């Protein structure tokens, strides 16, 4: 088998990058959707695999591209939950998320025993149909969740996995780690982090907030028990859902274009690196074409297999 000298460096690069690339096994990256539905098309075709909304139904822009996970927010949005139930009567989802932040007075605000009864009435029937149902999505109070699980078990219901929210400062990653680790050790169930981000009071420059997201996501990625994670940020920087979360978490500019943080979440690289990759791909493709005349059939097959792996490995290194 003959390979030209131009090709050998490419094969060496592929081997080096693959040797240092992180494992591809990771949690499924999702969206806590909350903005103009038409903007969703800019987030498909990358690393996102699923999305949810606190109480609304599916975004048709994502049909066939991302899995939708319905949510029963709580009693306040009972009419919207009835609409979700009608949709699920036509097609069962794989999973359902339970009550939004019941441990917060301004959110679904449920006592553990009350939440257990509501869970038994509205959500347990879906578990009997094979749908995975989460615990209520607490934001801080692990004791509340412990009480809920005890009350739920008393009346014959249970959660298939634990769903959590977390918010804090841009420099408080360790608190997120401690929180998630404590929850897993307490309940020994798979975990979904369905919101995480920096608060308005949590400070940080745009670069520091992005670095929090990168570090937090990579850490969650490394925990075998974290099945899915969706950051807080699917909104325009000029129109956050409330004043609690920092606008610097935003994935979109005011006109619907993607911010640099969104490029990282979609592609595992910054906007600049995505553009740079396109230039590199063009150069690599040119090298392949140049060497087709001199490479044997076996060599050409190796090239076609090795170069895409090198590109993939480069993006995985950028993500790490």
pLDDT tens by residue, 110-139? 999 999 999 999 999 999 999 999 999 999
Residue 100, token pair as written in the block: 């939004």
User: Model confidence over 257-272: pLDDT tens digits?
Assistant: 999 999 999 998 866 6
Work out the average pLDDT over 4-8.
47
* Contact in structure between 163 and 134 (CB atoms under 8 Å): yes
pLDDT of residue 27: 79
Cα 294 to Cα 281: distance, rounded to the nearest angstrom: 21
Pick 67 or 301 by higher pLDDT.
Answer: 67
Please count the other Cβ atoms lying within 10 Å of the Cβ belonging to residue 79: 8
pLDDT score of 251 more than 50: yes
CA distance 163 to 296: 54
CA distance 241 to 237: 10
Check if CATH label 3.20.20.80 holds for domain 28-268. Answer: yes
* Residue of 179, 106, 105 lying closest to 142 (CA atoms): 179
- How much of the chain is helix, strand and coil, in % rounded to 5? 50, 20, 30
Average pLDDT value for residue range 246-257 = 97
Q: Which has more pLDDT, 72 or 311?
A: 72
Separation CA 159–CA 140 (nearest Å): 18
Give pLDDT, residue 272: 61
pLDDT tens digits for range 276-292: 444 444 444 444 444 44
Torsion angle, CA of 288/291/296/302, rounded to 10 degrees? -30
pLDDT given for residue 167 in this prediction? 98
Closest residue by Cα to residue 227 from 261, 186, 184? 184
pLDDT in the model for residue 154: 98
Average pLDDT, integer, range 92-116 = 98
Q: With H, G, I as helix, E, B as strand and everything else as coil, classify residue 293.
A: coil
Helix (H, G, I), strand (E, B) or coil at 58: coil
Q: For residue 317, what pLDDT band results from cuts at 50, 70 and 90?
A: very low
259, 251 in Cβ contact below 8 A? yes
Ranges 13-22, 85-94, 169-178, 205-214: which has the least confidence: 13-22
Report the share of the chain in percent with pLDDT over 70.
Answer: 76
Q: Is 80 exceeded by the pLDDT of residue 171?
A: yes
Q: What's the rounded mean pLDDT across residues 73-98? A: 97
Whole-angstrom distance, CA of residue 127 vs CA of residue 152: 13
Per-residue pLDDT, averaged over 204-229, amounts to 97
Taking all residues of the chain, what is their mean pLDDT, rounded to a whole number?
85
User: Is the model's pLDDT at 213 over the cut of 90?
Assistant: yes
Q: Alpha-carbon distance 223 to 235, whole Å? A: 27
Max Cα distance, the chain (Å):
74
Say if residue 312's pLDDT is above 50. no
Burial of 205 (0-12, 13-18, 19+ CB in 10 A): exposed
Percent of the chain with pLDDT over 90: 75
Q: What is the pLDDT of residue 222?
A: 96
Block residue for tokens 């074409």: 289
- Among 46-60, 133-147, 289-303, which is the least confidently predicted range? 289-303
Query: The pTM is what?
Result: 0.79
pLDDT at position 304 over 80? no
Quote the CA–CA distance of 72 and 51 in Å, as a whole number. 14
DSSP state letter for 295: S
φ/ψ (deg, to 5) at 73: -60, -45
Residue range 148-176: mean pLDDT, rounded:
98
Q: Facing residues of 236 across strands?
A: 252
Please compute the mean of the pLDDT values over residues 8-14 and round it to a whole number.
47
Return the bridge partners of 168, or none.
198
* DSSP category for residue 252: B
Residue 211: its pLDDT value, please? 98
Structure tokens at 231: 């950051």
Residue 196 parent element (H or E): strand 191-198
Mean pLDDT across 50-79 = 97
Nearest to 206 by CA among 160, 252, 254, 261: 261
Cα-Cα end-to-end distance for the chain: 36
């Amino acid at each position: 088998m003959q390979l030209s000298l131009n090709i050998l460096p490419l094969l060496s690069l592929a081997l080096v990058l693959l040797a240092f690339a992180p494992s591809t096994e990771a949690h499924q990256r999702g969206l806590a959707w909350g903005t103009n539905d038409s903007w969703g098309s800019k987030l498909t075709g990358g690393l996102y695999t699923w999305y949810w909304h606190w109480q609304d139904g599916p975004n048709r822009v994502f049909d066939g591209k991302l899995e939708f996970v319905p949510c029963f927010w709580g009693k306040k949005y009972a009419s919207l939950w009835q609409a979700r139930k009608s949709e699920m009567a036509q097609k069962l989802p794989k999973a359902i998320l339970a009550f939004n932040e019941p441990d917060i007075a301004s959110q679904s605000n449920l006592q553990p025993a009350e939440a257990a009864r509501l869970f038994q009435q509205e959500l347990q029937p879906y578990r009997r149909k094979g749908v995975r149902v989460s615990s209520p999505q607490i934001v801080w109070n692990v004791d509340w969740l412990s009480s809920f699980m005890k009350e739920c078990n008393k009346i014959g219901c249970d959660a298939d996995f634990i769903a959590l929210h977390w918010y804090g400062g841009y420099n408080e990653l360790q608190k997120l780690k401690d929180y998630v680790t404590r929850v897993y050790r307490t309940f020994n169930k798979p975990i979904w982090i369905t919101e995480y981000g920096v608060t308005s009071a949590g400070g940080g420059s745009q670069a520091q907030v992005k670095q929090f997201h990168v570090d937090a996501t990579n850490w969650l990625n490394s925990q075998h028990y974290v099945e899915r994670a969706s950051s807080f940020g699917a909104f325009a920087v000029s129109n956050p859902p409330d004043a609690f979360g920092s606008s610097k978490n935003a994935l979109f500019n005011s006109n619907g274009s993607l911010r640099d943080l969104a490029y990282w979440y979609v592609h595992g690289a910054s906007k600049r690196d995505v553009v740079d990759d396109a230039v590199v791909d063009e150069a690599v493709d040119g090298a392949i074409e140049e060497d087709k005349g001199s490479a044997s059939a076996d060599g050409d097959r190796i090239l076609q297999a090795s170069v895409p792996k090198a590109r993939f490995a480069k993006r995985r290194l950028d993500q790490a």
